[in-house]
Amino acid sequence: MTEISNFIGYNAPFILLCLGSYIMWKSMQWIYLSTFIIGFFLNDLLNRIIKAIVQEPRPPNPINNGNYDDWTKTKSVQKYGMPSGHAQGAFYCASFLCFLTKSINVIIGSITLSIITLLHRYIYRKHTAKQLLVGSTIGILTGWIVYYFTFQSLRK
């Protein structure tokens, strides 16, 4: 993979958080913006709780691609692989943005960045396919739940 795809694959959750925040800030959707950001951090907390409970190891022999995710030296829950936090974070943002916007460019772009994340994490053996699928599913569901309750609260 190229340096650009490595950068995107590793940083997509943060890129999508910034992109989504900019879109909502630019269109002055303050309630959505605040719940999107709060939801992002709650989604990350949920990921850490699930990892602490499940404690499923990551795949053996990961490929070092120059990123900072050397979990072999950590005592935190990040040493576990189930569910993938990168997949969960990227798909949380992508799903929230897909429900929020009607822009086909934003929808296709956010899904593309999320898929690049999946490929990156799988190719470099940071996660198994199952860990990526579970992380993606949780991220999509969390994004939908946060969006849905925000939308419902604004309708009242």
* pLDDT for 100: 93
Looking up tokens 């690049």 gives: 116
Q: Specify if 11 maps to a domain.
A: yes
Q: Specify if 70 maps to a domain.
A: no
Domain that holds residue 51: 3-57+81-155
* pLDDT for 22: 93
Q: Specify if 63 maps to a domain.
A: no
Q: Specify if 97 maps to a domain.
A: yes
In the structure encoding, which two tokens stand for residue 55, read together?
């404690």
In the structure encoding, which two tokens stand for residue 154, read together?
């604004």
- Regions in the chain scoring below 70 on pLDDT: 1, 65-75
* pLDDT for 141: 97
Q: What is the C-alpha to C-alpha distance for residues 58 and 9, in angstroms, rounded to an integer?
A: 17
Q: Specify if 88 maps to a domain.
A: yes
* pLDDT for 47: 94
Q: Output the average pLDDT for the chain.
A: 87
End-to-end CA distance of the chain: 48
* pLDDT for 82: 84
**DSSP letters for 2-55:** -HHHHHHHHHHHHHHHHHHHHHHHHTT-HHHHHHHHHHHHHHHHHHHHHHHHH-
Q: Specify if 9 maps to a domain.
A: yes
* pLDDT for 66: 60
Per the structure, the count of domains in the chain is 1
Task: Provide CB contacts within 8 A for 142, sequence distance 6+.
Answer: 39, 42, 43, 46, 88, 92, 95
Q: Specify if 69 maps to a domain.
A: no
In the structure encoding, which two tokens stand for residue 128, read together?
């198994």
Q: CA–CA distance from 21 to each of 3, 32, 73, 96, 108 (Å)?
A: 25, 9, 33, 11, 17
How long is the chain?
Answer: 156
Q: How far is CA 118 from the centre of its chain?
A: 10
Q: Specify if 68 maps to a domain.
A: no
* pLDDT for 137: 97
Identity of the residue numbered 92: Y
For the entire predicted model, the pTM comes to 0.87
